[in-house]
Amino acid sequence: MSFTRYDSLKGRTVVVTGGATGIGAAFVRAFAANGARVGFLDIQKDAGTALADALAGETEKPVFVACDLSDVAAIGAALGAVRAALGPAAVLVNNAANDQRYDFASMTAAEFDRMMAVNFRHVFFAAQAIVPQMRELGHGSIVNMSSVSWMRGIPELEAYAAAKAAIVGFTNTLARAVGPARIRVNAIAPGMVLTERQRRLWFRDESQIEAGRALQCLPDLIAPEDIANLALFLAADDSRLITRQCISVNGGTL
């Protein structure tokens, strides 16, 4: 297979949250391969540093900033560091998330607040910090990561699903607010993407994977790169009149 390269991304500053591993790392690799200047944030310092070092020989070395995205002040500082290194951001990919399972009956207020912080609150405040940079440029694209979890009603993900549904509402409202400045805001809702973490924590049994695959119309498993390919399109000029959308990459899951 061969995939599209987007010339309009060359030289543009792209910021990815949660970019050290999994789907986030696929975003970092994809944007760097398309000639973008990539900055990414993640709490996983060793993995983030290793990814930036690994890409240094292939593309312009991405700028990695270690950041706890549940800390709003730290988000602002980290995004400021990326701007100082790479210039104002034309693209923001709000990817960071944690799909920790909880028993609904026993979930505490502290656990709920933590899930909102790691899955939704940083999306709001990262966008708040980046939108002025996009206004300065006169254009921009924000891609927020949602999930099929809120559409399908997956057990033990009540708090996570609530956050991912909130991201779609935020996407729709922000798109209306910043559209006049030619800033586009869209969301991606992935289906079953089997990252290393997903296999380690939630899909240890091949029968679980096959059950998920059976719900798809298409037989192939969804790879992180499939999600990254959509993010590239939504960030590039090719999608210049696409905004306020939530697009699902799910293989046609029922």
Cα–Cα distance for residue pair 177/218, rounded to 1 Å: 37
Pairing of the two strands 183-190 and 140-145: parallel
Instruction: Give bridge partners of residue 246 from the DSSP assignment.
Output: 187
Q: Which two tokens stand for residue 187?
A: 């969301």
- Specify whether the CB–CB gap between 65 and 86 falls below 8 A: no
Look up residue 27 and give its two tokens.
Answer: 């975003």
Residue 8 CA to residue 235 CA, distance in Å, equals 9
User: Tell me, what amino acid is at 225?
Assistant: E
Q: Which two tokens stand for residue 233?
A: 């399109």
How far does CA 45 lie from the centroid of its chain?
Answer: 18
Identify the helix (H) or strand (E) that includes residue 163: helix 158-178
CA 48 to chain centre: 15
Contact by Cβ (8 Å): 147, 189: yes
Q: Which residues pair with residue 66 across a beta bridge?
A: 42
Q: Determine which one of 6, 120, 160, 170 is catalytic.
A: 160
Give the whole-angstrom CA distance, residue 50 versus residue 8. 28
160 is catalytic: yes
Q: How far is CA 23 from CA 18, 64, 141, in A?
A: 9, 16, 18
Point out the residues that are catalytic: 160
